[in-house]
């Protein structure tokens, strides 16, 4: 792994015709997801008057969002972005709007709230995977710019999930969390419309040729195994770390320090993603996967050895440094193993794995904290990332497999190794 002397900048990525506008629109739409979780949780709790019921509804929303994401992405690959994304976003935003109105005052029927919540989760448009597919197609012949684009995308997405709960908190403070749900509906519809109606989404594999290839079964539909495994490990690490920092701060008698620890993780992830994207790597994405997964495991285990909160802050910042590079590499590796007409679905698998891993990480560490010392919990939480590194290790020895070029989107591509 080495860096070249001359490297195109992040500005070069955004100077590509139309891409800055499309990326900004995609971020607006994706910001909806950052705002929604907290706003929806508070809305359902106040409307139904039960934390247990609201937690169940949120869990069902998450399951529908995560496990149906590859299906929704497959529809985009098969029928085209404009034909699928805009109607999907319209239905999703309409369901959120109805949910907001239904839950505006306490006492709404629980069955109606549950039906609207579950239906909305099933219709969430895959804006992240679509945006990454656009980056890949735009910079298909310039891999160094594609890497920077993926890194920039990953860092911005992480920041959205840091800022989103703060915006949701404003709606809660101002009087009604249901307004935050309504705002999420407006954000996703407006962002999606601005994104798909721009000229940048008109790509060769989004036209009749690409759709015909998908319909004929020529798109590689297999799950990109190594990227999915590593993304799940990254999600598990983040979900586990959320609880571990709370337990650590409480252990040291300074619960208010949680905000600083969370901020250190976010800053570390941002810095790591920017530095990662600025380098030119000689190893292909598939070969970098086990290296970043191993770094994630080691950094999390070391964070558990911190003697005090100051050292722990540095430790979680080190964990954060590995998060964005690992995720960006997982998305890149999945993209490299996918046919042009199946890029959205490949990215959706990685995205779903990360989200599912996050839920499992929070649940798993919650069980561990009741029976093990903190240091042991940190070490055990690092095991999934270590396992992912070992699972992806053969990628270091596999020859690179080139994805078909965009102008051959209608032809069957070679079998992806390690996918």
pTM exceeds 0.85 for this model: no
Q: May I ask the CATH architecture of the domain 225-397?
A: Up-down Bundle (1.20)
Give the pLDDT score at 202.
56
C-alpha 51, offset from chain centre: 26
- Written as six digits, the tokens of 300 are 């999390």
Give the pLDDT score at 418.
31
CB 57 within 8 A of CB 117: yes
d(CA 161, CA 396): 32
CB atoms within 10 A of CB 387: 16
Tell me the longest C-alpha to C-alpha distance in the chain: 64
d(CA 410, CA 216): 9
- Written as six digits, the tokens of 211 are 């759709």
CA-CA-CA-CA torsion sign (393, 394, 395, 396): positive
Give the pLDDT score at 398.
54
Q: Over the range 15-54, which residues count as b (16 or more CB within 10 Å of their CB) and which as e?
A: ebeebeebbebbbbbbbbbbbbbbbbbbbbbbbbeeeebb
Give the pLDDT score at 215.
45
Mark the ranges of the chain whose per-residue pLDDT is less than 50.
Answer: 1-5, 204-221, 399-419
- Written as six digits, the tokens of 405 are 């070029």
CB 218 within 8 A of CB 66: no
Three-state DSSP string of 118-166: HHHHHHCCCHHHHHHHHHHHHCCCCHHHHHHHHHHHHHHHHHHHHHHHH
d(CA 290, CA 292): 6
d(CA 35, CA 42): 12
d(CA 256, CA 132): 37
SS3 helix, strand, coil % of the chain, rounded to 5?
Answer: 80, 0, 20
Domain residue ranges in the chain: 14-215, 225-397
CATH number assigned to the domain covering 14-215: 1.20.1250.20
CB 225 within 8 A of CB 350: no
Give the pLDDT score at 211.
45
Give the pLDDT score at 7.
60
CB atoms within 10 A of CB 174: 10
Q: Hey, do 14-215 and 225-397 end up sharing a CATH topology, with the first three levels equal? A: yes
C-alpha to C-alpha distances, 181 to 39, 162, 321, 411, nearest whole angstrom = 6, 17, 32, 43
Give the pLDDT score at 379.
94
Give the pLDDT score at 318.
95
CB atoms within 10 A of CB 201: 20
d(CA 393, CA 141): 27
Question: Of all helices (H) and strands (E), which one includes residue 273?
Answer: helix 258-278
Q: Give the pLDDT confidence of 81-94 residue by residue, as tens digits.
A: 889 999 999 999 99
Question: In sequence order, what are the residues at sequence separation of 6 or more whose Cβ sits closer than 8 angstroms to the Cβ of residue 97?
Answer: 182, 185
Q: Give the pLDDT confidence of 374-384 residue by residue, as tens digits.
A: 999 999 999 99
Give the pLDDT score at 163.
87
How far does the chain reach from its first CA to its final CA, in angstroms?
A: 23
């Amino acid at each position: 792994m080495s860096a070249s002397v001359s490297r195109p900048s992040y500005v070069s990525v955004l100077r590509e015709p139309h891409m800055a506008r499309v990326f900004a629109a995609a971020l607006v739409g994706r910001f909806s997801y950052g705002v929604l979780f907290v706003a929806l949780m508070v809305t359902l709790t106040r409307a139904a008057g039960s934390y247990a019921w609201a937690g169940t509804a949120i869990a069902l929303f998450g399951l529908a969002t995560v496990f149906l994401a590859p299906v929704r992405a497959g529809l985009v690959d098969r029928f085209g972005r404009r034909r699928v994304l805009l109607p999907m976003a319209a239905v999703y935003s309409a369901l959120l709007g109805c949910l907001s109105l239904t839950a505006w005052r306490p006492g709404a029927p629980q069955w109606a709230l549950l039906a609207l919540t579950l239906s909305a989760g099933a219709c969430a448009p895959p804006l992240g995977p679509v945006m990454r597919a656009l980056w890949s197609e735009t910079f298909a012949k310039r891999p160094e710019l594609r890497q920077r684009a993926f890194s920039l995308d990953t860092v911005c997405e992480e920041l959205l999930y840091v800022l989103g709960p703060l915006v949701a908190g404003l709606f809660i403070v101002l009087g009604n969390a249901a307004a935050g749900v309504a705002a999420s509906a407006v954000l996703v519809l407006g962002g999606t419309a601005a994104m798909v109606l721009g000229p940048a989404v008109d790509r060769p594999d989004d036209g009749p040729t690409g759709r015909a290839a998908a319909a004929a079964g020529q798109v590689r539909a297999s799950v990109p195994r190594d990227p999915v495994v590593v993304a799940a490990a990254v999600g598990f690490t983040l979900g586990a770390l959320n609880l571990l920092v709370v337990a650590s701060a409480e252990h040291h008698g300074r619960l208010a320090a949680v905000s600083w620890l969370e901020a250190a993780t976010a800053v570390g992830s941002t810095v790591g993603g920017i530095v990662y994207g600025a380098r030119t790597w000689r190893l292909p994405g598939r070969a970098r996967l086990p290296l970043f997964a191993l770094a994630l495991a080691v950094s999390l285990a070391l964070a558990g050895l911190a003697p005090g909160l100051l050292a722990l802050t540095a430790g979680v910042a080190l964990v954060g440094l590995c998060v964005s590079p690992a995720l960006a590499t997982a998305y890149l590796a999945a993209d490299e193993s996918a046919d042009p007409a199946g890029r959205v679905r490949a990215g959706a698998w990685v995205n779903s794995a990360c989200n599912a891993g996050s839920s499992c990480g929070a649940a798993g560490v919650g069980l561990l904290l009741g029976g093990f010392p903190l240091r042991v919990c940190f070490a055990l939480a690092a095991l999934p990332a270590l396992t992912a590194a070992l699972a992806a290790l053969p990628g270091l020895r596999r020859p690179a497999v080139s994805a078909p070029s965009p102008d051959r989107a209608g032809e069957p591509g070679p079998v992806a190794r390690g996918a």
